[in-house]
Amino acid sequence: MRTFLAAMAGCLLATVAFAAQARALDQNDRNVCGWGSQIAAEAQHAKLSGVTLYATRKKLQVRRFPKPWMRMTAFGITEQTYNSRSRLQPAAIKQTYYEQCVQHAVAKK
């Protein structure tokens, strides 16, 4: 029982700390992290579905992006995702990417 309560307290502390970090960022940083995490999740889904990196890159090539820097960044995220040995589900990749992006952005400030 104590172990369970300690684990729950640890999870609660981690959640509160993450929420505090996320609030320290401006809306633009959160949007960029959310966008990047979505690209990573899509790439992971394609990878697990057996779609080749070449085919995924072709889809990105014709996709419209609102900002000029997004295309090359999407290519980089996709390539890193394909090069990874990870077999995690896309939702887990999305969450992990977002959390690490937020941590990076907070550390930069």
Task: Let me know how long the chain is.
Answer: 109
Q: Over the stretch 4-26, which tens digit does the pLDDT of each residue have? A: 334 444 444 444 445 444 467 89
* Ramachandran region, residue 84 (left: φ > 0; alpha: ψ -120 to 50; beta: rest): beta
Residue 65 in tokens: 């992006």
pLDDT on residue 74: 98
Q: Over the stretch 42-98, which tens digit does the pLDDT of each residue have? A: 999 999 999 999 999 999 999 999 999 999 999 999 999 999 999 999 999 999 999
CB 78 within 8 A of CB 53: yes
Q: Over the stretch 23-38, which tens digit does the pLDDT of each residue have? A: 678 999 999 999 999 9
SS3 assignment, position 22: helix
pLDDT on residue 109: 82
Cα dist from 63 to 59, 73, 90, whole Å: 6, 13, 20
Burial 35-44 (b: 16+ CB within 10 A, else e): bbbbbbbbbb
